[in-house]
Amino acid sequence: MFNIQVMKRLGLLLLFFTLASCQAQKEDYASISMAEFISIYKQMGDLQILDVRTPEEYKEGFIKGAMLNNVFEPNFVDVAKRNLNKEKPIYVYCRSGRRSVKATKMLQEQGFSKVINVEGGYNAWIKQKE
């Protein structure tokens, strides 16, 4: 009986600390909304914009000035290193915002310090343009 009670309490304690550590984690990358990006895009003009979708998705439409670099290609990081300036902000988007988070983190791990995820991706771009 005693062992079961101790085990239950230890299990609950472990669960509590696990949940608390999950809550403490925060995003470790910069993100902006599509509306914020469009405002910057209109004001600045010459931006480093990285489209991390597939070539098929890119053919269906893209943000003018964006460089295509599929995040799932094995040479994704090498292509980025050859074509992007690490010192300038890089705005990353995909279709809906998931792959761009992955790409943003990958680039940060490679020393790109000014990488910004554009939330909502190309889907949000289309909606904002309507």
Among candidate residues 44, 100, 59, 96, the one with its CA nearest the CA of residue 76? 100
Does the active-site annotation cover 94?
yes
Distances in whole angstroms, Cα of residue 6 to Cα of each of 1, 19, 104: 9, 20, 44
Interatomic CA distance for residues 125 and 94, integer angstroms: 10
Among candidate residues 67, 121, 129, the one with its CA nearest the CA of residue 96? 121
Catalytic residue among 66, 94, 101, 115, which?
94
Q: Give the residue numbers annotated as catalytic, written as ranges.
A: 94
